[in-house]
Amino acid sequence: MSRHPTASAILRLDRLSHEVRRAGKPIVLQPREFRLLEYLMKHAGQVVTRTMLLENVWDYHFDPQTNVIDVHISRLRSKIERDFGSAILHTVRGAGYIMRAEG
């Protein structure tokens, strides 16, 4: 059985210092981006719905049609994937998002 690296093995998030690193390189995130990444990493390998993100990252309990998630996911993807050559944050059409290493 082959073993592939997990997203958390590729990306390091330090809750105390609020530092994020990938391949040893620091990634600067805004506070909301950090909370979003933290939630996605906590649920790595699981599909996370837009409603889950709204309720747990934004503390919203309404309006699942808002584009606030799309904007933040796009910014986060750009920061954690640009210049690294592999995707770890994936869209699951009609369901939400999943964080996992390509493999």
Instruction: Report yes or no on 44 lying in a domain.
Output: yes
For residue 85, tell me if it sits in a domain. yes
Which stretches of the chain drop beneath a pLDDT of 50? 1-4, 103
pLDDT of residue 4: 43
Calculate the dihedral angle through the C-alpha atoms of 84, 88, 92, 97, rounding to the nearest 10 degrees: -110
Question: Token match 């059985």: residue?
Answer: 1
* CATH number of the domain residue 79 falls in: 1.10.10.10
**Helix ranges (DSSP H) in 12-67:** 31-42, 50-57
15 located within any domain: yes
The answer to whether residue 92 is domain-embedded is yes
Q: How many domains does the chain have?
A: 1
Please, which residues bridge with residue 26 across strands?
Answer: 21
**Does a structural domain hold residue 2?**
no
**Is 1 a domain residue?**
no
Question: Kindly report the CA angle at 78 between 46 and 59, in degrees rounded to 5?
Answer: 55
Residue 62 lies in a domain: yes
Domain containing residue 46: 7-99
Q: What confidence score (pLDDT) does residue 1 get? A: 35
pLDDT for 3: 42
67 domain residue, yes or no? yes
